[in-house]
Structure 1
Amino acid sequence: MDELACLTNDLSDSGQTVVVGFSTHPHWDHLLWHPGLGEAPRYGTARCADTARDRLSNGIDARRLGIPDEVPLDLLGLITGLPADTARIPWDGPEVRIIEHQAHAPGHAALLIAERGVLVAGDMLSDVLIPMLDLNGTADPIEDHLAALRLLDGVAEDVDVAVPGHGSIGEADQVNARIDQDRAYLHSLRDDRALGDPRVGPSAKDGWEWWPACTNGNSSASPKEANATGRPASDRCATRRQDGGRRISRACRDRKRDWAALRPLLHPYLHWVQANGQVARGRIKVIGMLQAIGYVAPGVRRVARPPGLGSVRWIM
């Protein structure tokens, strides 16, 4: 919420008024709003809005979703779905094209402000995050993501600045490079080849060093995907067979874990929710709790969740 408050203050200081909002996809960190932004209409694609409404219909379990305590929830997800196949944002400003696709989350969309050469990419084209697949309700998440990249590739020549939801902005000369990097990652995943992605392993930027063990050519899992499935990511270390089935990655199955190696595999904002509602926030505290209960020990090849101890959750 600090970023939203900062944005609100910047807009106020510049004398600007918000007249419309848009959520690129139905993950909680993209459904936020600040009271200082006013009561402008907030939109999303029809599928995005439907998904958000379904997920929030029984109330917001902030602990289960890993939403920090300081995040106000009263304005979360109050978006209106635009009619299916709506091509542009309904407003009187510069034309904003909606590029809907099925990568990462249901009803995900990028926004192209062609007059300004700006692409709002949502959770795509990040310089710090590997492509995060939507593993729920889709037959081929890798192909869905590749199809989305083809759509973005089709408008890349009109883009001077790409703004991802996580990471840094990319200027014109970086847009195609990021598309190519994501495509190469997905091809390696699909073809079960070793990765050479700088966002994975020791070369990853500080704070984003996720899954060097489980993404080395063997897994499409990520913290967000694990959160979506409700299971630890160790249960999702798998690759897709040509027949559409799943097989456990040998590298993930056989890799020995010790506590020193475990930390960089965990997202910095990892949460552990116990059955009694107690929450451990941050990977250091989670590792301490895991050690205390014997969840993982040095040399263990397979991670299993003890019954009644709750579940591991990542921020969506």
Structure 2
Amino acid sequence: MLEQVSARVWVTTSPTWLTTSSVVVADDGACLLVDPALTPADLVSLQGELTGRGWHVAAAFSTHPHWDHVLWSEALPDVPRWATPGAAVASTDEELAAQAARDLPGHRWDVVGGTTPLPPDTTELPWTGLRAAVVATPGHAPGHASLHLPGEGVLVAGDMLSDVEVPLLDDDDDAVDAYRRSLQRLADVVASCDVVVPGHGRVADGAEASRRIDADHRYLDDLTAGVDPLDARLGEPRVRAEHVAQAARLGAERR
């Protein structure tokens, strides 16, 4: 279930939307979970695998306030589940649960939401494991942040730098410009990374991540120009539908 991508980082990917969860493991076996997902059964299996390896969950981080990135389970322990201040207050637990029931029905969700806001201007997660720098990357969702593990050369990018999703924008009027600034910020981080983990899609090396950054810039150029992008990621019907909706929204704003 878990794939090792660096000395102390493992990932697991759900077949649904290629949703990726990351596990950062300290020397003493303490684990930081980043965006654990996707179904309750997935979370139970994840906890079982961690226990089987002699590891224990010490903390968690949610990159942004979309339901598939704020999940938890009764099978997992009661530990700090951090998010940025903007992400932690963006949606109520009831709204998140309703989104989950709509998008992936048929599951009994133990816990969804309930993240704890980090103190304002926090730059590193306050856990006892290896250094985890919080990188503000707005544009996709309120309070969206990526997690940089400089000691491992790993970037956990949240819902950015995907090979299966185009840039999906939040509803803020500044979303396109904010997304561009975030891409530039991530480009600076990627320059020192060997591994980039997107929230949806396949793990990339630094060169592939740079190609994805270029592709995301091209997509945003076409989107804002009102041109239908030539982007292979739009071949997936769900992603195409998201693109059509945001293109229509931006077109209405220009009018």
Match of 1:25 among 61, 64, 74: 64
Instruction: Report what 1:246 is aligned to.
Output: 254
Instruction: Report what 1:250 is aligned to.
Output: none
Instruction: Report what 2:217 is aligned to.
Output: 183
After superposition, the Cα gap between the structure-2 partners of 1:38 and 1:211, relative to the gap in structure 1 and judged at 3 Å, is: closer
Instruction: Report what 1:48 is aligned to.
Output: 87
After superposition, the Cα gap between the structure-2 partners of 1:67 and 1:175, relative to the gap in structure 1 and judged at 3 Å, is: same
- Length-normalised TM-score, structure 1: 0.63
Match of 1:209 among 237, 243, 248: 237
Q: Does the aligned pair in 2 maintain the 1:133–1:220 contact within 8 Å?
A: no
Instruction: Report what 1:70 is aligned to.
Output: 107
Instruction: Report what 1:125 is aligned to.
Output: 161
Q: How many residues align?
A: 216
Instruction: Report what 1:172 is aligned to.
Output: 206
Instruction: Report what 1:237 is aligned to.
Output: 248
Deviation at 1:7, TM superposition (A): 1.9
Secondary structure at the counterpart of residue 18 of structure 1: strand
In 2, the alpha carbon distance for the partners of 1:111 and 1:44 equals: 11
More displaced, 170-179 or 41-50?
170-179
Q: Does the aligned pair in 2 maintain the 1:89–1:95 contact within 8 Å?
A: yes
Q: Does the aligned pair in 1 maintain the 2:82–2:115 contact within 8 Å?
A: yes
Unaligned runs of 5+ in 2: 1-38
In 2, the alpha carbon distance for the partners of 1:161 and 1:112 equals: 10
Secondary structure at the counterpart of residue 126 of structure 2: coil
Which structure has the greater CA radius of gyration?
Answer: 1
Secondary structure at the counterpart of residue 123 of structure 1: coil
Deviations 1:35-56, CA, capped at 9 Å, x for gaps: 332111110000111113xx23
In 1, the alpha carbon distance for the partners of 2:55 and 2:147 equals: 20
Deviation at 1:76, TM superposition (A): 1.3
Match of 2:130 among 94, 101, 105: 94
Secondary structure at the counterpart of residue 72 of structure 2: coil
In 2, the alpha carbon distance for the partners of 1:57 and 1:72 equals: 12
Q: Does the aligned pair in 2 maintain the 1:132–1:220 contact within 8 Å?
A: no
Deviation at 1:98, TM superposition (A): 0.2
Instruction: Report what 2:120 is aligned to.
Output: 84
Equivalent pairs: percent with the same residue?
Answer: 36
Match of 2:77 among 38, 43, 52: 38
Unaligned runs of 5+ in 1: 202-207, 222-235, 248-316
Q: Does the aligned pair in 2 maintain the 1:44–1:82 contact within 8 Å?
A: yes
Secondary structure at the counterpart of residue 36 of structure 1: coil
Instruction: Report what 1:16 is aligned to.
Output: 55
- Look up the equivalent residue of 1:209 and give its one-letter code: P
Instruction: Report what 2:197 is aligned to.
Output: 163
Q: Does the aligned pair in 2 maintain the 1:189–1:220 contact within 8 Å?
A: no
Instruction: Report what 2:140 is aligned to.
Output: 104
Instruction: Report what 2:234 is aligned to.
Output: 200
Deviation at 1:147, TM superposition (A): 1.1
Matched, 1:148 2:182: yes
As a proportion of its length, which structure holds more strand?
A: 2
Deviation at 1:189, TM superposition (A): 1.0
Q: Does the aligned pair in 1 maintain the 2:68–2:100 contact within 8 Å?
A: no
Deviations 1:175-205, CA, capped at 9 Å, x for gaps: 101111111100111223341211113xxxx
Across the aligned residues of Structure 1 and Structure 2, the Cα RMSD in angstroms comes to: 2.4
Q: Does the aligned pair in 1 maintain the 2:88–2:115 contact within 8 Å?
A: yes
In 2, the alpha carbon distance for the partners of 1:130 and 1:122 equals: 13
In 2, the alpha carbon distance for the partners of 1:176 and 1:3 equals: 31
Secondary structure at the counterpart of residue 69 of structure 1: coil
- Look up the equivalent residue of 1:95 and give its one-letter code: R
- Look up the equivalent residue of 1:103 and give its one-letter code: G
Instruction: Report what 2:21 is aligned to.
Output: none
After superposition, the Cα gap between the structure-2 partners of 1:62 and 1:122, relative to the gap in structure 1 and judged at 3 Å, is: closer
Q: Does the aligned pair in 2 maintain the 1:8–1:34 contact within 8 Å?
A: no
